[in-house]
A and B are shown apart, each in its own frame.
Chain A
Protein backbone atom coordinates (compact mmCIF):
# COMPACT_ATOMS: atom_id res chain seq x y z
CA UNK A 1 0.00 0.00 0.00
CA UNK A 2 1.30 3.40 -0.86
CA UNK A 3 1.89 6.02 1.77
CA UNK A 4 -1.12 8.08 0.70
CA UNK A 5 -3.43 5.10 0.86
CA UNK A 6 -2.09 4.27 4.28
CA UNK A 7 -2.64 7.76 5.67
CA UNK A 8 -6.10 7.83 4.12
CA UNK A 9 -7.03 4.54 5.70
CA UNK A 10 -5.70 5.72 9.03
CA UNK A 11 -7.82 8.87 8.81
CA UNK A 12 -10.90 6.85 7.93
CA UNK A 13 -10.41 4.52 10.86
CA UNK A 14 -9.88 7.46 13.19
CA UNK A 15 -13.07 9.10 11.99
CA UNK A 16 -15.02 5.90 12.49
CA UNK A 17 -13.60 5.43 15.96
CA UNK A 18 -14.46 8.98 16.86
CA UNK A 19 -18.04 8.48 15.66
CA UNK A 20 -18.48 5.32 17.72
CA UNK A 21 -16.89 6.99 20.72
CA UNK A 22 -19.31 9.92 20.46
CA UNK A 23 -22.21 7.53 20.34
CA UNK A 24 -21.13 5.55 23.37
CA UNK A 25 -20.42 8.69 25.39
CA UNK A 26 -23.82 10.12 24.54
CA UNK A 27 -25.65 6.97 25.57
CA UNK A 28 -23.83 6.76 28.86
CA UNK A 29 -24.53 10.40 29.56
CA UNK A 30 -28.23 9.95 28.93
CA UNK A 31 -28.31 6.93 31.21
CA UNK A 32 -26.57 8.67 34.10
CA UNK A 33 -28.67 11.83 33.79
CA UNK A 34 -31.79 9.72 33.86
CA UNK A 35 -30.76 7.95 37.00
CA UNK A 36 -29.77 11.24 38.64
CA UNK A 37 -33.10 12.84 37.76
CA UNK A 38 -35.16 10.07 39.30
CA UNK A 39 -36.32 10.99 42.81
CA UNK A 40 -35.76 7.54 44.27
CA UNK A 41 -32.89 6.15 42.26
CA UNK A 42 -30.71 9.19 42.78
CA UNK A 43 -30.44 8.35 46.44
CA UNK A 44 -29.17 4.85 45.78
CA UNK A 45 -25.84 4.07 47.41
CA UNK A 46 -24.50 2.20 44.40
CA UNK A 47 -25.08 5.25 42.30
CA UNK A 48 -23.17 7.45 44.73
CA UNK A 49 -20.29 5.04 44.84
CA UNK A 50 -20.23 4.95 41.05
CA UNK A 51 -20.03 8.72 40.84
CA UNK A 52 -17.58 9.34 43.63
CA UNK A 53 -15.21 6.43 43.99
CA UNK A 54 -12.06 7.57 42.32
CA UNK A 55 -10.40 4.21 41.92
CA UNK A 56 -11.16 1.23 39.73
CA UNK A 57 -14.57 -0.23 40.49
CA UNK A 58 -13.68 -3.75 39.32
CA UNK A 59 -17.16 -4.74 38.24
CA UNK A 60 -17.46 -8.41 37.48
CA UNK A 61 -19.34 -9.34 34.32
CA UNK A 62 -22.01 -12.02 34.39
CA UNK A 63 -20.59 -15.48 34.20
CA UNK A 64 -22.17 -18.35 32.29
CA UNK A 65 -24.33 -19.53 35.14
CA UNK A 66 -25.80 -16.10 35.70
CA UNK A 67 -26.44 -15.67 32.00
CA UNK A 68 -28.29 -18.97 31.90
CA UNK A 69 -30.33 -17.91 34.93
CA UNK A 70 -31.23 -14.69 33.16
CA UNK A 71 -32.32 -16.59 30.10
CA UNK A 72 -34.65 -18.85 32.06
CA UNK A 73 -36.04 -15.91 33.99
CA UNK A 74 -36.88 -14.25 30.71
CA UNK A 75 -38.70 -17.29 29.41
CA UNK A 76 -40.74 -17.57 32.59
CA UNK A 77 -41.46 -13.88 32.53
CA UNK A 78 -42.77 -13.84 28.98
CA UNK A 79 -44.99 -16.86 29.65
CA UNK A 80 -46.29 -15.24 32.76
CA UNK A 81 -46.73 -11.99 30.93
CA UNK A 82 -49.08 -13.63 28.49
CA UNK A 83 -51.18 -15.07 31.30
CA UNK A 84 -51.24 -11.89 33.25
CA UNK A 85 -51.81 -9.71 30.24
CA UNK A 86 -55.23 -11.17 29.71
CA UNK A 87 -56.54 -9.63 32.92
CA UNK A 88 -58.53 -6.49 32.25
CA UNK A 89 -57.62 -3.58 34.43
CA UNK A 90 -60.19 -1.61 36.34
CA UNK A 91 -58.19 1.53 36.15
CA UNK A 92 -58.67 3.34 32.82
CA UNK A 93 -55.34 5.06 32.96
CA UNK A 94 -53.45 1.78 33.12
CA UNK A 95 -55.59 0.11 30.53
CA UNK A 96 -54.95 2.94 28.13
CA UNK A 97 -51.25 2.89 28.88
CA UNK A 98 -51.07 -0.82 28.27
CA UNK A 99 -52.56 -0.65 24.79
CA UNK A 100 -50.60 2.47 23.99
CA UNK A 101 -47.29 0.99 25.09
CA UNK A 102 -47.83 -2.22 23.20
CA UNK A 103 -48.49 -0.42 19.94
CA UNK A 104 -45.81 2.17 20.51
CA UNK A 105 -43.19 -0.43 21.31
CA UNK A 106 -43.85 -2.32 18.12
CA UNK A 107 -43.72 0.77 16.00
CA UNK A 108 -40.56 2.05 17.60
CA UNK A 109 -38.98 -1.32 16.92
CA UNK A 110 -39.94 -1.09 13.26
CA UNK A 111 -38.77 2.50 12.96
CA UNK A 112 -35.47 1.70 14.66
CA UNK A 113 -34.78 -1.20 12.29
CA UNK A 114 -35.61 0.82 9.18
CA UNK A 115 -33.54 3.74 10.40
CA UNK A 116 -30.56 1.45 10.87
CA UNK A 117 -30.92 0.12 7.33
CA UNK A 118 -31.16 3.61 5.93
CA UNK A 119 -28.00 4.69 7.71
CA UNK A 120 -26.14 1.61 6.50
CA UNK A 121 -26.97 2.39 2.85
CA UNK A 122 -25.84 5.94 3.46
CA UNK A 123 -22.51 4.69 4.73
CA UNK A 124 -21.99 2.35 1.78
CA UNK A 125 -22.81 5.15 -0.65
CA UNK A 126 -20.18 7.34 1.00
CA UNK A 127 -17.67 4.48 0.75
CA UNK A 128 -18.35 4.35 -2.98
CA UNK A 129 -17.69 8.05 -3.27
CA UNK A 130 -14.36 7.40 -1.59
CA UNK A 131 -13.43 4.85 -4.21
CA UNK A 132 -14.54 7.15 -6.99
CA UNK A 133 -12.35 9.89 -5.55
CA UNK A 134 -9.27 7.68 -5.57
CA UNK A 135 -9.97 6.43 -9.13
CA UNK A 136 -10.32 10.00 -10.29
CA UNK A 137 -7.06 10.83 -8.61
CA UNK A 138 -5.25 8.05 -10.49
CA UNK A 139 -6.86 9.17 -13.74
CA UNK A 140 -5.81 12.71 -13.01
CA UNK A 141 -2.19 11.82 -12.38
CA UNK A 142 -2.03 9.68 -15.50
CA UNK A 143 -3.77 11.92 -17.96
CA UNK A 144 -1.68 14.14 -20.14
CA UNK A 145 -4.40 16.40 -21.45
CA UNK A 146 -6.27 19.30 -19.94
CA UNK A 147 -8.31 16.80 -18.01
CA UNK A 148 -5.63 16.03 -15.49
CA UNK A 149 -6.11 19.17 -13.45
CA UNK A 150 -9.84 18.79 -13.85
CA UNK A 151 -9.84 15.26 -12.53
CA UNK A 152 -7.57 16.14 -9.63
CA UNK A 153 -9.87 18.96 -8.60
CA UNK A 154 -12.96 16.77 -8.80
CA UNK A 155 -11.20 14.00 -6.91
CA UNK A 156 -10.35 16.45 -4.15
CA UNK A 157 -13.96 17.63 -4.08
CA UNK A 158 -15.29 14.11 -3.76
CA UNK A 159 -12.88 13.41 -0.92
CA UNK A 160 -14.27 16.32 1.00
CA UNK A 161 -17.91 15.64 0.23
CA UNK A 162 -17.43 12.05 1.20
CA UNK A 163 -16.19 13.12 4.61
CA UNK A 164 -19.28 15.25 5.01
CA UNK A 165 -21.57 12.45 3.87
CA UNK A 166 -19.96 10.09 6.35
CA UNK A 167 -20.50 12.65 9.07
CA UNK A 168 -24.13 13.03 8.04
CA UNK A 169 -24.63 9.30 8.36
CA UNK A 170 -22.86 9.30 11.73
CA UNK A 171 -24.96 12.19 13.02
CA UNK A 172 -28.17 10.59 11.84
CA UNK A 173 -27.05 7.49 13.65
CA UNK A 174 -26.32 9.45 16.78
CA UNK A 175 -29.46 11.55 16.89
CA UNK A 176 -32.14 9.48 15.28
CA UNK A 177 -31.19 5.83 15.43
CA UNK A 178 -29.93 5.96 18.98
CA UNK A 179 -33.01 7.89 20.07
CA UNK A 180 -35.26 5.24 18.61
CA UNK A 181 -33.19 2.42 20.07
CA UNK A 182 -33.28 4.04 23.49
CA UNK A 183 -37.02 4.43 23.40
CA UNK A 184 -37.37 0.92 22.19
CA UNK A 185 -35.72 -0.25 25.37
CA UNK A 186 -37.52 2.32 27.52
CA UNK A 187 -40.88 1.25 26.21
CA UNK A 188 -39.88 -2.32 26.89
CA UNK A 189 -38.98 -1.30 30.46
CA UNK A 190 -42.33 0.47 30.79
CA UNK A 191 -44.07 -2.63 29.57
CA UNK A 192 -42.16 -4.61 32.17
CA UNK A 193 -43.33 -2.20 34.83
CA UNK A 194 -46.92 -2.70 33.77
CA UNK A 195 -46.35 -6.40 33.82
CA UNK A 196 -45.09 -6.25 37.38
CA UNK A 197 -48.12 -4.24 38.34
CA UNK A 198 -50.48 -6.70 36.66
CA UNK A 199 -48.66 -9.46 38.48
CA UNK A 200 -49.23 -7.65 41.76
CA UNK A 201 -52.89 -7.16 40.81
CA UNK A 202 -53.33 -10.85 40.09
CA UNK A 203 -51.64 -11.68 43.38
CA UNK A 204 -53.93 -9.24 45.13
CA UNK A 205 -57.01 -10.74 43.57
CA UNK A 206 -55.78 -14.24 44.38
CA UNK A 207 -55.19 -13.16 47.97
CA UNK A 208 -58.74 -11.78 48.09
CA UNK A 209 -60.14 -15.04 46.81
CA UNK A 210 -58.01 -16.98 49.32
CA UNK A 211 -59.26 -14.72 52.11
CA UNK A 212 -62.85 -15.28 51.07
CA UNK A 213 -62.29 -19.01 50.94
CA UNK A 214 -60.58 -18.96 54.33
CA UNK A 215 -63.42 -16.91 55.80
CA UNK A 216 -65.91 -19.35 54.35
CA UNK A 217 -64.03 -22.32 55.80
CA UNK A 218 -63.12 -20.34 58.87
CA UNK A 219 -59.57 -21.61 58.80
CA UNK A 220 -56.24 -19.66 58.64
CA UNK A 221 -58.24 -16.46 58.47
CA UNK A 222 -55.55 -14.39 60.14
CA UNK A 223 -52.86 -15.68 57.78
CA UNK A 224 -55.02 -15.03 54.76
CA UNK A 225 -55.85 -11.58 56.06
CA UNK A 226 -52.21 -10.60 56.52
CA UNK A 227 -51.22 -11.92 53.13
CA UNK A 228 -54.18 -10.10 51.57
CA UNK A 229 -53.23 -6.89 53.29
CA UNK A 230 -49.63 -7.28 52.17
CA UNK A 231 -50.54 -7.85 48.55
CA UNK A 232 -53.04 -5.00 48.69
CA UNK A 233 -50.42 -2.70 50.04
CA UNK A 234 -47.92 -3.86 47.43
CA UNK A 235 -50.40 -3.38 44.66
CA UNK A 236 -51.36 0.10 45.70
CA UNK A 237 -47.78 1.15 46.11
CA UNK A 238 -46.80 -0.17 42.72
CA UNK A 239 -49.85 1.42 41.12
CA UNK A 240 -48.97 4.78 42.54
CA UNK A 241 -45.34 4.72 41.52
CA UNK A 242 -46.22 3.22 38.15
CA UNK A 243 -48.59 6.06 37.45
CA UNK A 244 -45.93 8.60 38.31
CA UNK A 245 -43.32 6.75 36.29
CA UNK A 246 -45.51 6.49 33.23
CA UNK A 247 -46.32 10.17 33.31
CA UNK A 248 -42.63 10.94 33.68
CA UNK A 249 -41.93 8.59 30.82
CA UNK A 250 -44.19 10.57 28.57
CA UNK A 251 -42.64 13.93 29.53
CA UNK A 252 -39.15 12.56 29.14
CA UNK A 253 -40.00 11.03 25.82
CA UNK A 254 -41.41 14.23 24.44
CA UNK A 255 -38.46 16.32 25.54
CA UNK A 256 -35.89 13.75 24.34
CA UNK A 257 -37.52 13.57 20.94
CA UNK A 258 -37.67 17.32 20.76
CA UNK A 259 -34.02 17.75 21.66
CA UNK A 260 -32.83 15.07 19.26
CA UNK A 261 -35.04 16.05 16.36
CA UNK A 262 -34.00 19.68 16.65
CA UNK A 263 -30.34 18.71 16.83
CA UNK A 264 -30.77 16.31 13.91
CA UNK A 265 -32.34 19.01 11.75
CA UNK A 266 -29.64 21.51 12.69
CA UNK A 267 -26.83 19.10 11.93
CA UNK A 268 -28.37 18.05 8.62
CA UNK A 269 -28.66 21.71 7.70
CA UNK A 270 -25.09 22.42 8.71
CA UNK A 271 -23.73 19.56 6.66
CA UNK A 272 -25.92 20.27 3.64
CA UNK A 273 -24.78 23.88 3.67
CA UNK A 274 -21.15 22.85 3.97
CA UNK A 275 -21.58 20.38 1.16
CA UNK A 276 -23.30 22.98 -0.98
CA UNK A 277 -20.53 25.48 -0.45
CA UNK A 278 -17.84 22.96 -1.42
CA UNK A 279 -19.74 21.90 -4.52
CA UNK A 280 -20.50 25.43 -5.62
CA UNK A 281 -16.95 26.65 -5.20
CA UNK A 282 -15.62 23.65 -7.10
CA UNK A 283 -18.10 24.12 -9.93
CA UNK A 284 -17.15 27.78 -10.06
CA UNK A 285 -13.46 26.97 -10.34
CA UNK A 286 -14.01 24.29 -12.95
CA UNK A 287 -16.24 26.50 -15.05
CA UNK A 288 -13.73 29.31 -14.78
CA UNK A 289 -10.90 27.13 -15.96
CA UNK A 290 -12.56 25.74 -19.05
Chain B
Protein backbone atom coordinates (compact mmCIF):
# COMPACT_ATOMS: atom_id res chain seq x y z
CA UNK B 1 0.00 0.00 0.00
CA UNK B 2 2.73 2.38 0.91
CA UNK B 3 5.26 1.69 -1.81
CA UNK B 4 4.72 3.93 -4.79
CA UNK B 5 6.65 1.66 -7.12
CA UNK B 6 4.21 -1.16 -6.72
CA UNK B 7 1.72 0.92 -8.68
CA UNK B 8 4.06 1.08 -11.63
CA UNK B 9 3.57 -1.89 -13.92
CA UNK B 10 4.73 -1.66 -17.52
CA UNK B 11 1.67 -2.24 -19.72
CA UNK B 12 3.77 -4.20 -22.22
CA UNK B 13 7.35 -5.25 -22.85
CA UNK B 14 9.41 -2.36 -24.02
CA UNK B 15 11.60 -3.23 -27.02
CA UNK B 16 14.37 -1.04 -28.35
CA UNK B 17 12.76 -0.43 -31.67
CA UNK B 18 10.43 2.33 -30.65
CA UNK B 19 12.52 4.89 -28.82
CA UNK B 20 10.10 7.82 -29.22
CA UNK B 21 7.19 5.88 -27.78
CA UNK B 22 9.41 4.48 -25.08
CA UNK B 23 10.47 7.92 -24.00
CA UNK B 24 6.92 9.19 -23.68
CA UNK B 25 6.07 6.13 -21.63
CA UNK B 26 9.06 6.70 -19.36
CA UNK B 27 8.04 10.31 -19.04
CA UNK B 28 4.53 9.42 -18.04
CA UNK B 29 5.69 6.89 -15.52
CA UNK B 30 8.29 9.28 -14.19
CA UNK B 31 5.71 11.95 -13.62
CA UNK B 32 3.02 9.66 -12.30
CA UNK B 33 5.37 8.02 -9.88
CA UNK B 34 6.64 11.31 -8.59
CA UNK B 35 3.08 12.39 -7.91
CA UNK B 36 2.31 8.99 -6.40
CA UNK B 37 5.24 9.32 -4.06
CA UNK B 38 4.11 12.77 -3.07
CA UNK B 39 0.55 11.70 -2.46
CA UNK B 40 1.67 8.65 -0.52
CA UNK B 41 3.74 10.87 1.73
CA UNK B 42 0.74 13.07 2.34
CA UNK B 43 -1.38 10.06 3.12
CA UNK B 44 1.29 8.82 5.45
CA UNK B 45 1.41 12.14 7.24
CA UNK B 46 -2.33 12.13 7.63
CA UNK B 47 -2.18 8.58 8.88
CA UNK B 48 0.35 9.48 11.53
CA UNK B 49 -1.86 12.33 12.73
CA UNK B 50 -4.92 10.13 12.69
CA UNK B 51 -3.06 7.38 14.52
CA UNK B 52 -1.96 9.81 17.14
CA UNK B 53 -5.48 11.06 17.63
CA UNK B 54 -6.97 7.57 17.74
CA UNK B 55 -4.32 6.46 20.17
CA UNK B 56 -5.21 9.28 22.45
CA UNK B 57 -8.93 8.76 21.98
CA UNK B 58 -9.02 5.00 22.58
CA UNK B 59 -6.82 4.97 25.59
CA UNK B 60 -8.40 7.96 27.20
CA UNK B 61 -5.93 9.00 29.83
CA UNK B 62 -2.74 10.55 28.41
CA UNK B 63 0.37 10.68 30.53
CA UNK B 64 0.59 7.00 31.63
CA UNK B 65 4.26 6.17 30.99
CA UNK B 66 3.76 2.68 29.56
CA UNK B 67 1.11 3.83 27.10
CA UNK B 68 3.23 6.79 26.25
CA UNK B 69 6.22 4.54 25.52
CA UNK B 70 4.19 2.23 23.34
CA UNK B 71 2.81 5.14 21.40
CA UNK B 72 6.21 6.68 21.06
CA UNK B 73 7.62 3.40 19.78
CA UNK B 74 4.83 2.88 17.30
CA UNK B 75 5.23 6.42 16.14
CA UNK B 76 8.99 6.05 15.86
CA UNK B 77 8.52 2.83 13.88
CA UNK B 78 6.10 4.47 11.57
CA UNK B 79 8.40 7.37 11.04
CA UNK B 80 11.29 5.02 10.35
CA UNK B 81 9.20 3.08 7.88
CA UNK B 82 8.11 6.23 6.13
CA UNK B 83 11.69 7.50 5.92
CA UNK B 84 12.90 4.20 4.54
CA UNK B 85 10.12 4.18 1.97
CA UNK B 86 10.94 7.73 1.00
CA UNK B 87 14.57 6.82 0.50
CA UNK B 88 13.54 3.85 -1.57
CA UNK B 89 11.18 5.93 -3.65
CA UNK B 90 13.80 8.60 -4.18
CA UNK B 91 16.38 6.01 -5.20
CA UNK B 92 14.05 4.42 -7.72
CA UNK B 93 13.11 7.84 -8.99
CA UNK B 94 16.74 8.65 -9.60
CA UNK B 95 17.22 5.38 -11.48
CA UNK B 96 14.26 6.06 -13.70
CA UNK B 97 15.51 9.54 -14.40
CA UNK B 98 18.90 8.16 -15.37
CA UNK B 99 17.33 5.67 -17.75
CA UNK B 100 15.18 8.44 -19.25
CA UNK B 101 18.19 10.66 -19.86
CA UNK B 102 20.07 7.78 -21.50
CA UNK B 103 17.15 7.22 -23.86
CA UNK B 104 17.24 10.90 -24.77
CA UNK B 105 20.97 10.74 -25.45
CA UNK B 106 20.73 7.78 -27.78
CA UNK B 107 17.86 9.39 -29.67
CA UNK B 108 19.91 12.53 -30.03
CA UNK B 109 22.79 10.59 -31.54
CA UNK B 110 20.46 8.84 -33.94
CA UNK B 111 18.96 12.17 -34.96
CA UNK B 112 22.39 13.62 -35.65
CA UNK B 113 23.28 10.64 -37.80
CA UNK B 114 20.07 10.97 -39.78
CA UNK B 115 20.70 14.67 -40.30
CA UNK B 116 24.18 13.91 -41.57
CA UNK B 117 22.82 11.35 -43.99
CA UNK B 118 20.29 13.82 -45.29
CA UNK B 119 22.95 16.50 -45.72
CA UNK B 120 25.20 14.07 -47.49
CA UNK B 121 22.46 12.97 -49.84
CA UNK B 122 21.45 16.59 -50.47
CA UNK B 123 25.06 17.34 -51.32
CA UNK B 124 24.83 14.70 -53.97
CA UNK B 125 22.00 16.73 -55.40
CA UNK B 126 19.59 13.85 -54.92
CA UNK B 127 15.94 14.26 -54.17
CA UNK B 128 14.96 13.14 -50.68
CA UNK B 129 11.57 11.57 -51.12
CA UNK B 130 9.02 10.70 -48.49
CA UNK B 131 10.15 7.08 -48.59
CA UNK B 132 13.54 8.07 -47.20
CA UNK B 133 17.10 7.73 -48.35
CA UNK B 134 16.78 4.18 -49.54
CA UNK B 135 14.80 5.20 -52.59
CA UNK B 136 17.65 6.91 -54.41
CA UNK B 137 20.47 5.26 -56.31
CA UNK B 138 23.10 6.27 -53.77
CA UNK B 139 21.53 4.17 -51.05
CA UNK B 140 20.74 1.45 -53.54
CA UNK B 141 24.31 1.05 -54.74
CA UNK B 142 25.71 1.17 -51.24
CA UNK B 143 23.43 -1.50 -49.92
CA UNK B 144 24.42 -3.94 -52.66
CA UNK B 145 28.15 -3.94 -52.13
CA UNK B 146 30.05 -3.79 -48.88
CA UNK B 147 33.17 -2.50 -50.67
CA UNK B 148 31.15 0.41 -51.98
CA UNK B 149 29.37 1.03 -48.69
CA UNK B 150 32.78 1.13 -47.07
CA UNK B 151 34.05 3.56 -49.67
CA UNK B 152 31.11 5.91 -49.18
CA UNK B 153 31.68 6.02 -45.44
CA UNK B 154 35.38 6.61 -45.89
CA UNK B 155 34.74 9.25 -48.52
CA UNK B 156 32.52 11.16 -46.11
CA UNK B 157 35.37 11.23 -43.61
CA UNK B 158 37.85 12.06 -46.37
CA UNK B 159 35.76 15.09 -47.36
CA UNK B 160 35.72 16.41 -43.80
CA UNK B 161 39.47 16.02 -43.57
CA UNK B 162 39.90 17.76 -46.93
CA UNK B 163 37.83 20.68 -45.69
CA UNK B 164 40.00 20.85 -42.57
CA UNK B 165 43.13 20.96 -44.74
CA UNK B 166 41.62 23.75 -46.83
CA UNK B 167 40.82 25.77 -43.74
CA UNK B 168 44.30 25.18 -42.35
CA UNK B 169 45.86 26.37 -45.61
CA UNK B 170 43.74 29.52 -45.62
CA UNK B 171 44.73 30.32 -42.05
CA UNK B 172 48.38 29.51 -42.68
CA UNK B 173 48.57 31.84 -45.67
CA UNK B 174 46.80 34.74 -43.99
CA UNK B 175 48.88 34.38 -40.84
CA UNK B 176 52.17 34.28 -42.80
CA UNK B 177 53.23 30.91 -41.46
CA UNK B 178 56.88 29.95 -41.85
CA UNK B 179 58.02 28.04 -44.92
CA UNK B 180 58.97 24.82 -43.16
CA UNK B 181 55.65 24.50 -41.38
CA UNK B 182 53.81 25.52 -44.54
CA UNK B 183 55.73 22.88 -46.45
CA UNK B 184 54.52 20.21 -44.04
CA UNK B 185 50.95 21.39 -44.48
CA UNK B 186 51.31 21.24 -48.25
CA UNK B 187 52.76 17.72 -48.11
CA UNK B 188 49.97 16.62 -45.79
CA UNK B 189 47.32 18.00 -48.15
CA UNK B 190 48.88 16.29 -51.16
CA UNK B 191 49.16 12.97 -49.34
CA UNK B 192 45.53 13.28 -48.47
CA UNK B 193 44.64 13.46 -52.17
CA UNK B 194 46.84 10.44 -52.83
CA UNK B 195 44.97 8.60 -50.12
CA UNK B 196 41.75 9.16 -52.03
CA UNK B 197 43.28 7.59 -55.14
CA UNK B 198 44.06 4.50 -53.10
CA UNK B 199 40.51 4.36 -51.78
CA UNK B 200 39.14 4.71 -55.30
CA UNK B 201 41.33 1.91 -56.52
CA UNK B 202 39.90 -0.44 -53.92
CA UNK B 203 36.38 0.73 -54.71
CA UNK B 204 36.98 0.20 -58.44
CA UNK B 205 37.89 -3.41 -57.73
CA UNK B 206 34.59 -3.77 -55.90
CA UNK B 207 32.57 -2.00 -58.61
CA UNK B 208 34.29 -0.03 -61.35
CA UNK B 209 30.96 1.12 -62.81
CA UNK B 210 30.16 2.79 -59.52
CA UNK B 211 33.41 4.76 -59.41
CA UNK B 212 32.98 5.72 -63.06
CA UNK B 213 29.41 6.88 -62.45
CA UNK B 214 30.54 9.54 -60.00
CA UNK B 215 27.45 8.92 -57.88
CA UNK B 216 29.60 9.43 -54.82
CA UNK B 217 30.28 13.02 -55.86
CA UNK B 218 28.01 16.06 -55.88
CA UNK B 219 26.04 16.70 -59.07
CA UNK B 220 28.08 19.73 -60.19
CA UNK B 221 31.33 17.80 -59.77
CA UNK B 222 29.80 15.02 -61.82
CA UNK B 223 29.13 17.48 -64.60
CA UNK B 224 32.89 17.88 -65.06
CA UNK B 225 33.67 14.22 -64.53
CA UNK B 226 36.32 12.47 -66.59
CA UNK B 227 37.16 8.79 -65.98
CA UNK B 228 36.31 8.69 -62.32
CA UNK B 229 37.40 12.17 -61.24
CA UNK B 230 38.54 15.63 -62.17
CA UNK B 231 40.31 16.39 -65.44
CA UNK B 232 43.90 17.44 -64.60
CA UNK B 233 44.32 19.86 -67.51
CA UNK B 234 41.09 21.67 -66.56
CA UNK B 235 42.24 22.09 -62.98
CA UNK B 236 45.49 23.56 -64.16
CA UNK B 237 43.79 25.99 -66.52
CA UNK B 238 41.36 27.27 -63.93
CA UNK B 239 43.53 27.46 -60.88
CA UNK B 240 46.96 28.51 -62.11
CA UNK B 241 45.85 32.15 -62.48
CA UNK B 242 45.25 32.09 -58.70
CA UNK B 243 49.00 31.89 -58.10
CA UNK B 244 50.12 35.46 -58.31
CA UNK B 245 53.84 35.74 -58.83
CA UNK B 246 55.62 33.18 -60.99
CA UNK B 247 58.95 33.22 -62.76
CA UNK B 248 59.17 32.86 -66.51
CA UNK B 249 60.61 29.39 -66.06
CA UNK B 250 57.68 28.42 -63.90
CA UNK B 251 55.15 29.71 -66.38
CA UNK B 252 56.84 27.79 -69.13
CA UNK B 253 57.01 24.61 -67.04
CA UNK B 254 53.35 24.84 -66.15
CA UNK B 255 52.42 25.44 -69.75
CA UNK B 256 54.32 22.28 -70.72
CA UNK B 257 52.65 20.38 -67.90
CA UNK B 258 49.27 21.46 -69.22
CA UNK B 259 50.14 20.22 -72.69
CA UNK B 260 51.41 16.88 -71.37
CA UNK B 261 48.25 16.43 -69.33
CA UNK B 262 46.13 17.13 -72.36
CA UNK B 263 48.06 14.56 -74.42
CA UNK B 264 47.83 11.91 -71.72
CA UNK B 265 44.12 12.60 -71.26
CA UNK B 266 43.51 12.29 -74.99
CA UNK B 267 45.30 8.95 -75.08
CA UNK B 268 43.24 7.65 -72.17
CA UNK B 269 40.03 8.97 -73.69
CA UNK B 270 40.78 7.20 -76.93
CA UNK B 271 41.47 4.03 -74.99
CA UNK B 272 38.06 4.41 -73.32
CA UNK B 273 36.40 4.87 -76.70
CA UNK B 274 37.99 1.66 -77.87
CA UNK B 275 36.81 -0.15 -74.74
CA UNK B 276 33.27 1.10 -75.26
CA UNK B 277 33.37 -0.05 -78.85
CA UNK B 278 34.61 -3.49 -77.88
CA UNK B 279 32.06 -3.99 -75.12
CA UNK B 280 29.28 -2.77 -77.36
CA UNK B 281 30.37 -5.19 -80.08
CA UNK B 282 30.50 -8.15 -77.75
CA UNK B 283 27.06 -7.34 -76.36
CA UNK B 284 25.56 -6.98 -79.84
CA UNK B 285 27.36 -10.01 -81.36
CA UNK B 286 25.19 -12.83 -82.60
CA UNK B 287 21.45 -12.56 -82.96
CA UNK B 288 20.10 -9.83 -80.74
CA UNK B 289 16.93 -11.82 -80.10
CA UNK B 290 18.84 -14.54 -78.33
CA UNK B 291 18.81 -15.09 -74.60
CA UNK B 292 21.15 -13.14 -72.36
CA UNK B 293 23.18 -16.14 -71.27
CA UNK B 294 25.17 -16.38 -74.49
CA UNK B 295 28.99 -16.58 -74.39
CA UNK B 296 29.07 -12.95 -75.51
CA UNK B 297 28.26 -11.85 -71.98
CA UNK B 298 31.46 -13.41 -70.70
CA UNK B 299 33.44 -11.66 -73.41
CA UNK B 300 31.85 -8.37 -72.50
CA UNK B 301 32.59 -9.03 -68.84
CA UNK B 302 36.23 -9.83 -69.58
CA UNK B 303 36.60 -6.65 -71.55
CA UNK B 304 34.93 -4.60 -68.85
CA UNK B 305 37.59 -5.79 -66.41
CA UNK B 306 39.82 -3.21 -68.09
CA UNK B 307 37.65 -0.49 -66.54
CA UNK B 308 39.52 -0.89 -63.26
CA UNK B 309 42.78 -0.18 -65.10
CA UNK B 310 41.33 2.98 -66.59
CA UNK B 311 40.27 4.31 -63.21
CA UNK B 312 43.74 3.52 -61.87
CA UNK B 313 45.52 5.12 -64.82
CA UNK B 314 43.39 8.26 -64.64
CA UNK B 315 44.11 8.60 -60.91
CA UNK B 316 47.77 7.92 -61.61
CA UNK B 317 47.69 10.83 -64.04
CA UNK B 318 46.04 13.05 -61.41
CA UNK B 319 48.67 12.05 -58.89
CA UNK B 320 51.58 12.73 -61.25
CA UNK B 321 50.10 16.11 -62.14
CA UNK B 322 49.87 17.09 -58.48
CA UNK B 323 53.44 15.91 -57.92
CA UNK B 324 54.77 17.81 -60.89
CA UNK B 325 53.02 20.99 -59.73
CA UNK B 326 54.66 20.61 -56.34
CA UNK B 327 58.04 20.30 -58.08
CA UNK B 328 57.52 23.42 -60.17
CA UNK B 329 56.10 25.65 -57.44
CA UNK B 330 57.56 26.95 -54.20
CA UNK B 331 55.91 25.76 -51.01
CA UNK B 332 54.03 29.01 -50.63
CA UNK B 333 52.79 28.94 -54.21
CA UNK B 334 51.81 25.29 -53.81
CA UNK B 335 49.87 26.21 -50.67
CA UNK B 336 47.97 28.86 -52.60
CA UNK B 337 47.26 26.45 -55.41
CA UNK B 338 46.04 23.66 -53.11
CA UNK B 339 43.87 26.15 -51.25
CA UNK B 340 42.34 27.20 -54.56
CA UNK B 341 41.80 23.54 -55.44
CA UNK B 342 40.02 22.78 -52.17
CA UNK B 343 37.86 25.89 -52.46
CA UNK B 344 36.98 25.11 -56.04
CA UNK B 345 35.59 21.70 -55.09
CA UNK B 346 33.77 23.17 -52.11
CA UNK B 347 32.11 25.71 -54.41
CA UNK B 348 31.10 22.97 -56.83
CA UNK B 349 29.44 21.20 -53.92
CA UNK B 350 27.70 24.41 -52.92
CA UNK B 351 26.52 24.79 -56.52
CA UNK B 352 25.07 21.30 -56.32
CA UNK B 353 23.10 22.31 -53.22
CA UNK B 354 21.76 25.43 -54.91
CA UNK B 355 20.82 23.32 -57.86
CA UNK B 356 19.02 20.79 -55.71
CA UNK B 357 17.02 23.55 -54.01
CA UNK B 358 16.20 25.55 -57.09
CA UNK B 359 12.56 26.67 -57.52
CA UNK B 360 10.53 24.20 -59.55
CA UNK B 361 8.39 26.66 -61.52
CA UNK B 362 10.13 27.75 -64.73
CA UNK B 363 8.78 31.29 -64.37
CA UNK B 364 10.87 31.74 -61.26
CA UNK B 365 14.16 30.90 -62.89
CA UNK B 366 17.19 32.48 -61.29
CA UNK B 367 18.39 35.62 -63.02
CA UNK B 368 22.18 35.73 -62.86
Chains A and B form a bound pair: no
Residues of A whose CB lies within 8 Å of any CB of B are: none
